[in-house]
Structure 1
Amino acid sequence: MRLRNALTLAAAYLAAAGAVQAAPAAPDLDALVTYETRQVTAAGVLRTEIWKERLIRRGDAVWTERVLPSQAHAAHAHESSAEHAGHKHFNFDSAARWVRRDATGQTQLQYVDREHRMVVSVPQAEYGAVGFDGRWDAAAHIVPPSVIEHMPVQASAGRDGTWHVEKGSGWSHRVLWSDARQVALRVESSRGDGSFKRVVTVVPVAAQATLPWQGAGSYTQKEYDDFMD
């Protein structure tokens, strides 16, 4: 499962939120999202993982793309091409995720490799294989509005939004929700025993003049099954 979808707050509250609801119309959003996870494994190893993504929301389309540091580009350059020789390969972790909602409310999922000019469509039956929970509202809002509605209000943060807090089943969740932007600006999730903590921070940035999916129609179009052995 992709790290960015592991133990998401949306999944943790899916039962409490009830049936999946269509997310309301939301304003355009460009943001930098930082994920930081600290976990103590059964072997006693403290594992820290930090990564960033660029998020763009326009109407019924949400684009998320990993922001790769220079070290990641260097590591990629040192990979041996022999690793994938004769093997069909697509890196869903490094590709951009393009989630859209059609007129009937159905979710469409595609991954875009802009370097190799390739678009891969993923059917609903394979969402789990690529670490997608199937919820457009979670992709668009970080935490679905239907989940926020079930979380008690803790305090106002002024213009930044409102803190919502929920505790139960050994977990604690705090969400700084912005009504104006219709997005969770900060999500803090932790286990009561201290073995796991995750913080998601959303920082709005200036909108780009050119949307990253423009021109994707001219890319090579593939299906998920094309990469099955």
Structure 2
Amino acid sequence: MCFKKYQMGLATMAAVLGMLAQMSGALAAENVSGPDQNLQVQHYAMTIGRDGVKRETTFTERLYRRNDQVWTERVIAGQAGDDHDHGGHSHPDAGSAPMWVRRLADGALDARLVERDQRRSVKVDSQYYGNIGYNGSWGSTFYLSDPQSLKGMRVVGPVKDGVQQYESKRGDLTVRVSWDVKGQYPRKVESADKHGRTRRETLVSVIDAPKVLPWKTLVGYAEIDYSDLLD
């Protein structure tokens, strides 16, 4: 179903940093905190298949983080609505639906997809995170690159212009992270295999804060559970 396509941005970042997550220890989500940020995240992915066809994907997201909540939203020209109806249920275009994640007082996460056209938020329980391509890690949600994962990487040189470089290799894959020490986010994440058949790059830059934080515009929205949309 279409929800499985949710947030290609998160899926792409997960692919780039997947091996780093394996290298890190247990995530202490309740201890994760950092400065507020308003970020633009540009994703690029390239693969060359066995058929010799080169496939490239690019897209941009905006991310707003404030203490205990993060909003991630795809940038789409025209923002055309394209909801689909399946057996009486209205399903959003999962690739473009914003995701709002809050960290609750007990450390649990409250993850929601937001459908503006339907004026509703869809609460996704942890058992369904895999359906929407979400890894359930507050560290990677808040920081994009989980600081715990960086501890398993090799530090490359001293901090320069506020950025610390990290590198890690596993098999044919090399991952590099340019970490903004003060801002606590990766300015750049790149991975490539030594054969030149796959490459991924994520560029992150600071943008202006919105006049109104997006989750504050949800007053009056209906709240439903993801399970209610399952056929």
Partner of residue 173, structure 2 = 171
Within 2, Cα distance between the matches of 1:212 and 1:157? 34
Partner of residue 15, structure 2 = 8
1:67-112 deviation line (CA, Å, top 9, x unaligned)? 0024x63xx5xx6x8x637542222211101111111111111011
2:197 to 192, 195, 201: 195
Deviates more, 1:129-138 or 1:188-197: 188-197
1:28 to 36, 40, 52: 36
**1:9, distance to aligned residue in structure 2 (A):** 3.6
Partner of residue 104, structure 1 = 106
SS at match of 1:146: helix
**1:41, distance to aligned residue in structure 2 (A):** 1.9
Q: Which runs of 4+ in 1 moved over 4 A?
A: none
1:110-145 deviation line (CA, Å, top 9, x unaligned)? 011223211000010100000001111101111001
Residue identity over aligned pairs, in percent, reads 28
1:167-202 deviation line (CA, Å, top 9, x unaligned)? 122110000001211111100011222211000000
**1:210, distance to aligned residue in structure 2 (A):** 0.7
State yes or no: 1:62 paired with 2:70: yes
1:122 to 115, 121, 124: 124
Partner of residue 17, structure 1 = 24
Between Structure 1 and Structure 2, how many residues are aligned? 222
Within 2, Cα distance between the matches of 1:91 and 1:183? 28
2:162/2:181 contact within 8 Å kept: no
Question: Structure 1 regions of 5+ residues with no counterpart?
Answer: none
Question: Structure 2 regions of 5+ residues with no counterpart?
Answer: none
Residues 44 and 87 from structure 1, CA distance in 2 versus in 1: closer, same or farther, beyond 3 angstroms?
Answer: farther
Deviates more, 1:20-29 or 1:58-67: 20-29
Within 1, Cα distance between the matches of 2:135 and 2:87? 31
Within 1, Cα distance between the matches of 2:98 and 2:123? 12
SS at match of 2:22: helix
When normalised by structure 1's length, the TM-score is: 0.89
Please provide the CA RMSD for this pair: 1.9
1:121/1:223 contact within 8 Å kept: yes
Within 1, Cα distance between the matches of 2:111 and 2:51? 36
